């Protein structure tokens, strides 16, 4: 990452369309932006596409960054919104979720404690896109139900249903791993 003065100088360069400054910003934040996008995509190629599209938006909208919030927060919001845009664009191609009442299931605490972050990310990425996106926005980014509904263009009921189903599927996958660990499979 860049220190504060380097970041300010790089942002000024990006606003002027300086390719060197753009490259510097891209290289400084690529890994971080990838980790954000990775939570919303199913594979490495989709992650790369979202990061590329996100940086394109950053460079074309740099004049809209006013400095009133940390650059990382602004960048993160752009990356998340880029992933959501990709999700919406592929919505008709993916598994749609019907609105049904689902019971909220809690994940086993001891399994979560024993599971490493990389494995949990792997499990989240195995969820259907609607569940994955909803779970990430709620559990990781801290959005409220109404905010998620507005971002995704769905009802609050769909958000609650998708979140509940995501938790249930994660619990099933974690329970299966716990059983495999216990019986040495």
H and E: helices and strands count for the chain: 9, 0
| 0.75 surpassed by pTM | no
4-89 with 109-183: one CATH topology? no
CA–CA separation, 77 and 101 (whole Å): 31
Residues 50/24/78/88 CA torsion (nearest 10 deg): -10
Q: What is the DSSP string of 19-39?
A: HHHHHHHHHHHHHHHHHHHHT
Burial (0-12, 13-18, 19+ Cβ within 10 Å), 82: buried
Q: What pLDDT is stored for residue 31 in this prediction?
A: 94
Residue 68 backbone dihedrals phi, psi, to 5 degrees: -75, -15
* Digitized pLDDT (tens) for each residue of the chain, 185 residues in all: 789 899 999 999 999 999 999 999 999 999 999 999 998 988 889 999 999 999 999 999 999 998 888 999 999 999 999 999 988 887 765 444 443 333 333 334 444 445 567 777 888 888 998 999 999 899 888 899 999 999 888 999 999 999 999 999 988 888 887 777 767 65
CA 122 to chain centre: 13
Q: What pLDDT is stored for residue 17 in this prediction?
A: 92
Judge: domain 4-89, CATH 1.10.1740.10: yes
Judge: domain 109-183, CATH 1.10.10.10: yes
- Residue ranges of the domains in the chain? 4-89, 109-183
């Amino acid at each position: 990452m860049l220190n504060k003065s380097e970041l300010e100088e790089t942002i000024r360069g990006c606003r002027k369309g300086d390719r060197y400054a753009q490259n510097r910003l891209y290289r400084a934040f690529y890994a971080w932006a990838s980790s954000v996008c990775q939570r919303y995509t199913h594979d490495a190629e989709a992650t790369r596409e979202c990061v590329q599209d996100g940086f394109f938006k950053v460079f074309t909208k740099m004049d809209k960054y006013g400095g009133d919030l940390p650059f990382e927060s602004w960048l993160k919001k752009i990356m998340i919104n880029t992933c959501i845009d990709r999700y919406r664009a592929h919505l008709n191609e993916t598994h749609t979720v019907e609105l049904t009442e689902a019971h909220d299931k809690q994940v086993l605490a001891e399994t979560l404690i024993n599971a490493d972050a990389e494995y949990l990310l792997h499990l989240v990425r195995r969820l259907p896109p609607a569940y994955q996106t909803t779970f990430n926005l709620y559990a990781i980014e801290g959005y409220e139900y109404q905010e998620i509904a507005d971002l995704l263009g769905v009802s609050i009921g769909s958000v609650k249903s998708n979140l509940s189903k995501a938790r249930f599927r994660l619990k099933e996958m974690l329970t299966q791993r716990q059983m495999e660990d216990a019986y040495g499979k």
